[in-house]
Structure 1
Amino acid sequence: MANHSMIENIAKRLNVDDAYCIKKCQEFLRILQAKNTLKMSEQVQIIICLDLATSITGSAFDKETALQLCSFKKSVYENNFHNIQKILDLDKPISINELCVKFSCTHLKGEAEKLYSCYKQKDPKIKDDEHPQYAAAAVYTVCKLNNLKPSKSEFSSISRLRPNQWGAIVNEFEKFAASMGVELKKLPSKKKNYVEEILVNKESSPSKKMKEEQKKPNIEEYEVWKKRILQIAKESLRNESEKV
């Protein structure tokens, strides 16, 4: 069993300074040692147990440094992480609701649940329906169909599948969605919107011709002006004679 100082040293390198996380790591290590089912170094076990402890508490964890200390590729690390998670009975299945909250797309929860439910009914191969690949594929597909940009690497990691396996199940879900009549929602063309905006502005603003006409001074014809001036003079003379 790893001593306390060894755990603290590794925790320090991974930016883990929470005493509770270190305590949880020690608990996890004791369980692993009792079951004695893993063939991996003590350092790797400590790193993964710290990762699990921080994921429970929400504390910081330096994953890049963890990969370097383990000398693992990300996919190998994830496999070992999930194996230990399963041994410790921490592999609670992630729900569509939790995924939607995690990726800020709760407004798509209903669509994702409907897609998964229909897929599950049609595909008799699904036996372990608690496996996260299905919930991940459903949410990922719905995000793409709604023109969001979900993180492929994050969803792939959550699915616990290899990249080629993840690509295959996403392809299945996309085809199934298309068979249900669900297609990519088209975004309005920016060019079209720009043209429409110009037309609306043109219609709502006075035309150039009208503006020019408004600017022109109102000039009377000579005969009209002469007649008006004479009429004014006559009325003025009449008023003067009446006063006398």
Structure 2
Amino acid sequence: MKSWVNRSGISNMSASLLGSTLILLFVFSIAKGQAPNYFMVMIPPIAVVASGRIIQAFKKSKPGSGILITVFEISLLIVLIFLLIAVFILSSGLFYPLLLTVISITVIYFCVFKGIHSFERLAFVSVLMTGIFNLFFNAGIIPALYSYQGTRQVLNIFEANRQEGDRLCNFETEEYELFFYAGDPVLNINDWDELYSVMERPGTWLYTNETKYKDIKNMNYQNIAVYEIRQRGMNRITLPFLNPQTRDETLKSNYLIRTR
């Protein structure tokens, strides 16, 4: 960032970019407890450093030296390899990995062997690979991960099996999106007396955690149906959860209890 200040003063473009990224960093640092992607907190400082170099490159008559361009191209190839590895690991099928591999090979062939200018090649490959990887995540990975949210599973079961007069209740779970996604108001149970009351009423659907389920199970209620919800919140993403081979080991059980 020191290179952004010259004898004539501070570059307006650089100062604006620095201010916006620092604000973004501030927002992410506050919201990181709720943000599903913790690595996004590192995007602003990386953007500051990278954008400063790009601005300096555009100011030059010849954008970058041969050595610098070579380093960038090697770095892109390394990143591309890691992206391919990530896609193969995260994807449960072969369609997306093979599609990304074919596109990558085609892009590299045309960029490297067809004489496109080095800086243009760098920008083109960067934007294209970022777009492809983002498309893969939004089309294949993120929808699959969201399907493991307990709220979505509970609402799917409830809407498919509910009868007229049935009521969905929540007891001691932190999945507050249940109150926003449900079509009808969800009753939040605050104490055991209220729990006893709703459990005696037919047509109650009670969503609770494993600890409270065991307590309710020991009460020996009759005429109940139990659905096990294997779930994990999107704000608790870990590498074992992202890997389909180890994903089941990271899931925790909640329970949906129906009184009849």
TM-score in terms of structure 1 length = 0.30
Structure with the bigger percentage of helix? 1
TM-score in terms of structure 2 length = 0.29
Structure having the higher Rg = 1
Structure with the bigger percentage of strand? 2
Higher RCO (CA < 8 A, seq sep 6+): 2
